[in-house]
Amino acid sequence: MLGNGVKKGGFPHKVKKGTIHLPVYESQDLKLTFRTQGDLDQRIHGICSAEGGRHKWSKKYAFSSQNGKVAIVTGGAKGIGCSTAKQLSRLGMHVIIAGNNEAEGNEAVTRIQQDTQNEKVEFLYCDLASMKSIRQFVQNFTAKNLCLHVLVNNAGVMLVPERKTADGFEEHFGLNYLGHFLLTNLLLKTMKKSGTENLNARIITVSSATHYVGELNFDDLNSSYCYSPHGAYAQSKLALVMFTYCLQRQLSEDGCYVTANAVDPGVVNTDLYRNVCWPGRLVKWLTAWLFFKTPDEGAATSVYASVAPELEGIGGCYLYSGQKTKSADVSYNEELQRKLWNESCKMAGIPDSA
């Protein structure tokens, strides 16, 4: 094992240009496209894109059917989450969409069932801005007596005005990070029972390239003194990466058959940008077709991390466009990881196991 629980030889792997076609669930083809985003990728991820903004990295895979597996996707009613849920459903998984809008969730379930011909798709209410709701969701899921093989921590808010969660936390930190921290910890018992030596359970947490400019202010994690939407969002995404690394280290030390990886979907054309100032929204509207990924493209790495056989038993990675990528230097600081974990346990009201 290397670094944060990464197996030798796992990454990086070489990829060829084209489109990914994956023959999967009941003769249906699953299509994933990894697209780099030109100069942005070269500056942030060190990926050179010879063909500019719409360059595509890809490789053909033959994923086996995922029938019998159970997945939870938070924020799975729309955007990247919905695309992720759809692709996992197409692979044959029993997919549970966790979200805070029942109407949108049920509509997504119907669409996915029709698109994939997989009836094992359902919605369960979960408001990640409320710890009470998260605990109720876990109770409702546990009552189904299902295994849990894949957890995709996808839901989030971006650049919202200053406001608090039901528990009094700044919303970016409370929903994006702390909600998923609590949810993951409450589901770990089930995931540990579900994973096996040859088929590990997988935790995939969606971060963002914004984490590279994020800072953790332990004196003011709630951004109470000086609120900046950009700063609060970046902090939440950095916290998610550090949480992933700390979690993987614990899982490896405990010998659990569960892995944890963080993924970066890239710049994706979704409703998350609705809180951007109107000039920014105008620029997005004019340029999205060229510079922004589609939700399906944004979901590609989440799906890849959920099922790729070459990632079996590999955790502690930061993945972008199907490749292991270096995250921010500060994210590897184990002392800060443990400090964040300890503070998060206090905030969430759960035992500290770091």
Note the pLDDT tens digit of each residue in 68-107. 999 999 999 999 999 999 999 999 999 999 999 999 999 9
Check if 225 is active-site. no
> Tell me, what's the pLDDT at 287?
47
Model confidence, pTM: 0.83
- What CATH number does domain 66-348 carry, 3.40.50.720, 3.40.50.970, 3.40.190.10, 3.40.250.10? 3.40.50.720
DSSP state of 11: S
Partners of 179 in beta bridges: none
Widest distance between CA atoms in the chain: 56
pLDDT of 187-238, one tens digit each?
A: 999 999 999 999 999 999 999 999 999 999 999 999 888 899 899 999 999 9
Pairing of strands 323-324, 318-320: antiparallel
Q: With beta carbons less than 8 A apart as the criterion, state whether 334 and 250 touch.
A: no
Does the pLDDT of residue 50 top 60, yes or no? no
pLDDT tens digits, one per residue of 134-174: 999 999 999 999 999 999 999 999 878 999 999 999 999 99
User: Which helix (H) or strand (E) segment is 140 a member of?
Assistant: helix 131-142
Residue ranges of domains in the chain: 66-348
Q: pLDDT digits over 247-270, tens only?
A: 999 999 999 999 999 999 876 544
Q: Quick one: CA dihedral 323, 183, 159, 328, positive or negative?
A: negative
Question: Which band of pLDDT confidence, cut at 50, 70 and 90, is reported for residue 13?
Answer: very low
pLDDT of residue 30 exceeding 80, the answer is: no
Check: CB of residue 305 under 8 Å from CB of residue 321.
no
Active-site choice (25, 233, 245, 304): 233
Res 327 pLDDT > 50: yes
**Mean pLDDT, rounded, of the chain:** 82
